[in-house]
C-alpha cells in the first residue's frame, strides 16, 4: 500500500466517523430540544456532568448526545489504530511502534483517568 | 434564557465561528470559548469542553478534502503526535489545578498570538542540510507543485518536538486545536513547506484533542446540552467555509476576523485579571 492510498483511506474513515457521530448528536439533540426546550439551564456554575450511557436504554436524550460525543472522540483514535495495522502490513516496524505509542497515550487519556 | 433560545443563539454563533475560521484559515475553535464565556456567561469548564469536541469534529471532517491533494505527511504527523498527545494529557490534567482566572489570561495571550501572527508565506521547500534523525525516521518527503513533485528535508527535530509538546499542552488546557502553534513548530522550526505543515497539522489536531477529551469527559466538563449546538454549528460552518473558500476574497474578511480576535483577547485577559471569569 502506498502512503497516498493509506492517506485516502484514512481521510474516508475520518469523514464517515464524523458523519455518523454528528448524526447521533443531531438525533439526541432533537430529542433534547423537544423535551427540555422550556427549561433554564445553569451553565454559570460548574457541576461535573457524569457520563450516563445507561440512559441509552430508555432513550434519554442527553445520553444519546454523549454517545455521539464518544463516537466523535473515537474517530481519530480509530485512525491511529488503522495506522498500526497499515504499517504492520507494510512491515514498517518503526512506524508500527510509533503509531502504537500514540495509541497507548490516547488510551491512557480515555481510560487511565477514570 | 431557556434551552430553546440558548441552543439557537449558540448554534448561530458556532456556525459563524466555524465559517469564518475555515474561510480565514485562523481556526474557528479559538473563538468558541470567548463566545460562550463572554457573551453567554458560561462557566469556563463547560466552554472548553464544548469547544474541544467541536475541534475534533472539524479536524476529522476536513481531513478527507485535504488528503486528496497529497500534501500531508503521515510519518511527520504520527511522530509528532507522540509529542502533542503527551502534552494534551498534561494540559487537560492541569485544568483542575490552575485557577480559572489564570486559564483565561493564558487563553487571551493565545488569542492575541493568533490575531497578530502572519500566516507563513506559501514558500518553496527549504533545502537544509541532511539531518540524520530525519533520515532515520524517514520524515523527508515531496509534495506536488506547479513544477512537479518538490522534495523537502526536515530539520531541527528536537526543537519541533518540544514545541509540539507545548502546543499539545495548550490544546488540553484551553480546549482548542492550537493549529497556529503546530504550524509554527513545523514551518518555522522544522522547515516543512507551508502546505505540508498546515494539512499535516489539521490531521494532528483531532488526535491531539482526542487525548484530552477522555479526561474532560471523566471530569465532567462536557455538557451534552451545550456541546450539541456548538459541535453541530462549528462543523456545519466549517464545511460551508471550505466550499466557498475557492471563490471568496478572504483578505478583508481575515483582517476583520483578526480585529475580532484582538477584542476578544483583550476582554479575556481583562476578565482574568479582575477575576470575573
The cell for B102 is 489564570
pLDDT in tens, B143-198: 888 888 888 888 889 999 999 999 999 999 999 988 888 888 888 889 888 888 88
Among residues B187, B199, B120, the alpha carbon closest in space to that of B155 is found at B187
State which residues form the domain around B101. 3-273
- Rounded average pLDDT over B10-19: 94
Least Cα separation, residue B248 to chain A (angstroms) = 24
ipTM: 0.91
- Reply yes or no on whether the pLDDT at A26 is more than 60: yes
Q: For residue B84, with 0-12 CB atoms within 10 Å meaning exposed, 13-18 middle and 19 or more buried, which class applies?
A: buried
Number of domains chain B is built from = 1
| Contact yes or no for B149/B143 (Cβ under 8 A) | yes
pLDDT in tens, B225-254: 999 999 999 999 988 887 776 566 667 777
Interchain CB distance below 8 Å, B82 and A101:
yes
Least Cα separation, residue A89 to chain B (angstroms) = 16
Interchain CB distance below 8 Å, B60 and A111:
no
Q: What string of DSSP letters covers A46-60?
A: -------GGGGGGT-
Count of other CB atoms within 10 angstroms of residue A35: 13
B221 or A11: which leads in pLDDT: B221
- Determine the Cα–Cα distance for residues A37 and A98; give it in Å rounded to an integer: 47
Question: Could you tell me the residue ranges of all domains in chain A?
Answer: 3-112
- Determine the Cα–Cα distance for residues B23 and B76; give it in Å rounded to an integer: 25
User: Which are the contacts of A96, defined by CB distance < 8 A and separation ≥ 6?
Assistant: A84, A87, A88
- Reply yes or no on whether the pLDDT at B132 is more than 90: no
- Determine the Cα–Cα distance for residues B219 and B211; give it in Å rounded to an integer: 14
Stretch 25-84 of chain A: residues touching chain B, C-beta under 8 Å: 25-26, 28-29, 32-33, 36-41, 43-51, 61-63, 65-66, 69-70, 72-77, 79-80, 83
Amino acid at each position: 500500500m502506498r502512503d497516498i492510498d493509506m492517506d485516502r483511506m484514512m481521510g474516508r474513515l475520518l469523514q464517515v466517523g464524523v458523519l455518523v457521530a454528528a448524526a447521533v448528536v443531531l438525533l439526541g439533540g432533537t430529542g433534547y430540544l423537544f423535551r427540555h426546550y422550556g427549561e433554564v439551564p445553569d451553565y454559570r456554575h460548574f457541576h461535573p456532568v457524569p457520563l450516563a450511557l445507561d440512559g441509552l436504554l430508555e432513550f434519554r436524550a442527553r445520553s444519546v448526545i454523549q454517545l455521539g460525543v464518544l463516537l466523535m472522540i473515537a474517530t481519530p483514535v480509530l485512525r491511529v489504530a488503522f495506522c498500526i495495522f497499515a504499517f504492520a502490513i507494510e512491515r514498517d516496524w518503526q512506524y508500527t511502534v510509533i503509531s502504537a505509542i500514540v495509541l497507548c497515550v490516547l488510551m491512557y487519556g480515555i481510560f487511565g483517568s477514570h | 434564557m431557556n434551552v430553546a433560545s440558548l441552543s439557537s443563539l449558540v448554534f448561530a454563533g458556532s456556525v459563524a465561528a466555524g465559517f469564518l475560521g475555515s474561510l480565514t484559515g485562523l481556526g474557528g475553535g479559538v473563538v468558541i470559548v470567548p463566545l460562550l464565556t463572554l457573551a453567554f456567561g458560561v462557566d469556563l469548564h463547560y466552554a472548553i469542553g464544548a469547544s474541544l469536541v467541536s475541534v475534533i469534529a472539524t479536524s476529522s471532517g476536513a481531513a478527507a478534502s485535504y488528503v486528496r491533494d497529497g500534501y500531508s505527511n503521515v510519518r511527520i504527523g504520527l511522530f509528532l503526535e507522540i509529542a502533542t498527545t503527551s502534552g494534551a494529557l498534561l494540559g487537560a490534567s492541569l485544568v483542575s489545578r490552575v485557577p480559572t482566572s489564570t486559564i483565561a489570561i493564558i487563553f487571551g495571550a493565545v488569542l492575541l498570538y493568533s490575531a497578530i501572527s502572519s500566516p507563513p508565506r506559501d514558500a518553496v521547500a527549504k533545502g537544509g542540510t541532511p539531518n540524520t534523525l530525519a533520515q532515520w525516521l524517514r520524515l523527508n518527503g515531496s509534495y506536488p507543485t506547479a513544477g512537479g513533485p518538490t522534495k523537502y528535508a526536515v530539520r531541527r527535530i528536537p526543537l519541533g518536538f518540544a514545541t509540539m509538546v507545548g502546543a499539545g499542552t495548550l490544546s488540553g488546557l484551553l480546549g482548542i486545536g492550537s493549529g497556529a502553534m503546530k504550524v509554527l513548530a513545523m514551518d518555522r522550526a522544522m522547515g516543512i513547506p507551508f502546505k505540508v505543515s498546515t494539512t499535516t497539522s489539521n490531521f494532528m489536531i483531532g488526535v491531539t484533542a482526542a487525548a484530552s477529551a477522555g479526561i474532560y469527559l471523566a471530569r465532567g466538563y462536557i455538557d451534552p446540552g451545550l456541546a450539541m449546538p456548538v459541535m453541530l454549528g462549528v462543523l456545519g460552518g466549517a464545511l460551508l467555509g471550505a466550499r466557498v473558500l475557492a471563490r471568496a476574497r478572504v483578505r478583508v474578511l481575515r483582517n476583520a476576523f483578526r480585529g475580532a480576535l484582538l477584542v476578544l483577547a483583550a476582554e479575556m485577559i481583562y476578565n482574568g485579571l479582575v477575576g470575573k471569569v
